C-alpha cells in the first residue's frame, strides 16, 4: 500500500504540473501539445527536485512536510531552468505560477489531510 500511495502522489503532482503548463499554453493561444514538453520540463525537473529534497516518499500526502517543499522547489527550480533555457520569467508569470502551483501541489494534500481527519472522527457503527 505504501508504494502505491507514493506512486499516486507523484502521479497527481505530475498531472497537475502538466495541466498547469497546458492551461498556460492554451491561455496564450499557443499550440498546446506541440510545445507542452518544452514548457513543462523545467517545472517537472523542479518537482522531482522537490520530491528528493523533502524525501517525499516518506510522507507523500503531507501538506507541510512534503507539499510546501515540493511546491517551492517546483517554482524555484522551474523558473531558474526556464531562464537558463531562454524561456520567459516575467514577474506576472512568476506570480501566477507561484500561486497556481501552491493551490495545486499543497491544495490536494490539504484536502486529503482534511478527509483523513474527518474519517478518524466518524463514530464507529
| Residue 97 contacts residue 79 (beta carbons within 8 Å) | yes
| CB neighbour list of residue 109: distance below 8 Å, 6 or more residues apart | 61, 62, 63, 66, 67
pLDDT of the residue at 118: 85
pLDDT of the residue at 18: 97
Q: pTM here?
A: 0.90
Cα radius of gyration (the chain): 16
For 52, the enclosing helix (H) or strand (E) is helix 32-54
**CA-based diameter of the chain, in Å?**
60
| Residue 104 contacts residue 65 (beta carbons within 8 Å) | no
Q: Residue 86 has which C-alpha cell? A: 531562454
pLDDT of the residue at 116: 87
pLDDT tens for the chain, 125 residues long, are 689 999 999 999 999 999 999 999 998 877 888 889 999 999 999 999 999 999 999 999 999 999 999 999 999 999 999 999 999 999 999 999 999 999 999 999 999 999 988 887 766 56
pLDDT of the residue at 28: 82
pLDDT of the residue at 51: 98
pLDDT of the residue at 94: 97
Which contacts qualify for 5-12: CB closer than 8 Å, 24 or more apart? 5/60, 5/61, 6/56, 6/57, 6/60, 8/60, 9/56, 9/60, 9/61, 9/66, 10/51, 10/56, 10/60, 12/108
Amino acid at each position: 500500500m505504501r508504494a502505491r500511495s507514493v506512486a499516486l502522489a507523484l502521479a497527481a503532482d505530475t498531472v497537475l504540473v502538466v495541466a498547469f503548463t497546458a492551461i498556460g499554453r492554451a491561455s496564450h493561444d499557443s499550440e498546446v501539445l506541440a510545445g507542452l514538453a518544452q514548457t513543462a520540463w523545467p517545472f517537472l525537473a523542479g518537482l522531482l527536485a522537490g520530491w528528493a529534497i523533502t524525501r517525499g516518499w516518506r510522507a507523500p500526502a503531507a501538506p507541510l512536510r512534503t507539499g510546501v517543499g515540493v511546491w517551492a522547489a517546483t517554482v524555484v527550480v522551474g523558473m531558474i531552468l526556464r531562464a537558463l533555457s531562454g524561456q520567459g520569467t516575467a514577474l506576472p508569470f512568476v506570480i501566477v505560477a507561484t500561486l497556481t502551483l501552491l493551490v495545486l501541489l499543497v491544495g490536494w494534500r490539504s484536502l486529503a489531510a482534511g478527509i483523513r481527519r474527518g474519517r478518524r472522527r466518524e463514530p464507529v457503527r
